[in-house]
Chains A and B, each alone.
Chain A
Amino acid sequence: SQQGEEDPQALSIQEGENATMNCSYKTSINNLQWYRQNSGRGLVHLILIRSNEREKHSGRLRVTLDTSKKSSSLLITASRAADTASYFCATDAGGNTGGFKTIFGAGTRLFVKA
């Protein structure tokens, strides 16, 4: 079962433009994370936002969280060709025996044209 779902599934923009990706989730969360994956590679953590935070910045990345709407957005400003990758949101969920697991969405594929 998927907790987070990204929108759009794919996005194509010109270099220099901003890219916005959205994530919706279903249940209460402790935190929400965004990851990036280059083709054929493992995922790399970008940013974590806690449930009591509304906005967070890291370089050209800006993440917002609206817990009332159960949604988050990732904004990449002044995009570069090197930003071409898939982007995933992930939320934490309690496991059955006490551990916590992270549930990933299907991802948004971003293509930045030079």
Chain B
Amino acid sequence: SQTIHQWPATLVQPVGSPLSLECTVEGTSNPNLYWYRQAAGRGLQLLFYSVGIGQISSEVPQNLSASRPQDRQFILSSKKLLLSDSGFYLCAWGYNEKLFFGSGTQLSVL
């Protein structure tokens, strides 16, 4: 069966510091991968999606970037965090229009 791992669960970072959130999927090959951000108690905003290794599409201009160095690995990064980058970040993989989510990372930028 397929599983998705996302870490860390919680992260507190100072403004201007770098960021790296990692997501890996097991049990499937060549999945579509997604990074979402969710405002407190609200819907999901798509940040990036990837249909294959090295293929990244960005949905909104921002201070973040994504990379897919391996088939089942998706990384969300920033060189210098802003206060506005605080939020709940979710990684997901997709299959037949359904999305399966990781457990999320609560990022606080102080």
Q: A and B: real partners? A: no
Chain B interface (Cβ within 8 Å of chain A)? none
